[in-house]
Amino acid sequence: MSRTALSGSELAGRLRDRDVSVAPAVLNLLEDASRREEARELLVALGPGVLGGEAPGHIVGVTGPPGVGKSTLLGALVAVWRAADRTVAVLAVDPSSKRSGGALLADRIRIAGPAVGGPGRFIRSMAARERVGGLAPATRAAAQVLAVAFDVVVVETVGVGQSETEVAELADTVVVVVQPGAGDALQFLKAGLMEVPDLLVVAKADVGAAAQTTLGEAQAALHLLGADDTAALAVSALPPGAGIAELAQALDDHRARTDGPARRLATRRAGALADFISEYGAQGLRAVGGRRGAERILIAQSPELDGHSLVEMLALQAGLDQTS
């Protein structure tokens, strides 16, 4: 650690003061394997037990097939949030470079336009590492702690498939983005993603009838799943940005009608289990009695424990070395 680097406890204090300027230092700490003890200090200091409740920021997960327009959509959505004077952090999860282990895409490349740069907004690419299609532990931790300082924290995930459901283990609201011509209701059901969303968005609504057809097919698929309460809307990120303000309102509406603390508790436990399996593998899972055994252990813990402490508790129950 350099002489000028802030410690985990110092960063926690700055985030509690809603100092968003320390976001880069926070992510550097969480991604630095040599500073694990400091990262632990940060996570514990920003856990619900210490904060006296859940972090106030709205954590939004955005997922969908590559090339569907998620990043362009986010650029327009961030602009709307900033116009409303909300601070926004975007964590764009990219495939890892086999050479460096870092994200293949540089920061801010995917999200362009007025959303990039300026005060009150922070955009960073984070590597998926071995969790391709899912979330690395550092990403999960980053979203949770940045929600202490930022009004909105967005996690944009790469790829498609069942592993994309990991974003539901983190987000308060999950948005699935599809594009016109994405398929009929049966294909939506087969895609698996349709089991996830709190909001479903058809991008590129400017193409006209094709977008409305896809919107109708998506609504039909949601009906077949018994998810009629899931909002579905078509939007265009191209100026003047049709439907973007409505999407921002739909996100607020979802959060308002959701039991936030209960959802955060459930996602914290699910995230801790995912991170435990990522770190200790099948051996660790067997040592705690499988997935069901791990879930029983997590449910027995205090609801105020942070995710990192829950992982430590599972490791302790499994009798595993936590220092490696």
Q: What is the DSSP string of 25-89?
A: HHHHHHT-GGGHHHHHHHHHHTSHHHHTS--SSEEEEEE--TTSSHHHHHHHHHHHHHHTT--EE
Query: pTM to 2 decimals?
Result: 0.88
| Residues in the chain with pLDDT values less than 50 | 1-2, 96-109, 131-133, 162-163, 324
Cα 149 → chain centroid: 16
Cα 121 → chain centroid: 16
| pLDDT computed for residue 310 by the predictor | 93
Give the amino acid at 234.
Answer: A
Backbone torsion region of residue 314, taken as left when φ is above 0, otherwise alpha when ψ lies between -120 and 50, otherwise beta: alpha
In contact, 248 and 233? CB cutoff 8 Å: no
| pLDDT computed for residue 186 by the predictor | 59
d(CA 286, CA 107): 38
d(CA 39, CA 37): 5
d(CA 219, CA 228): 8
Rg of the chain in Å (alpha carbons): 19
For the stretch 7-36, what's the b/e string if a residue is b when 16 or more beta carbons lie within 10 angstroms of its beta carbon?
ebebbbbbbeeeebebbeebbebbbeeebe
What domains appear along the chain, each with residue ranges and CATH number?
55-257 (3.40.50.300), 261-318 (no CATH)
| C-alpha torsion sign, points 160, 271, 203, 122 | negative
Helices (H), 84-180: 137-146
| pLDDT computed for residue 100 by the predictor | 39
Helices (H), the chain: 8-16, 23-30, 36-45, 48-51, 70-83, 137-146, 185-191, 209-224, 244-256, 260-287, 290-299, 307-318
User: Which tokens go with 295?
Assistant: 């879930």
d(CA 189, CA 183): 10
| pLDDT computed for residue 106 by the predictor | 39
| pLDDT computed for residue 219 by the predictor | 87
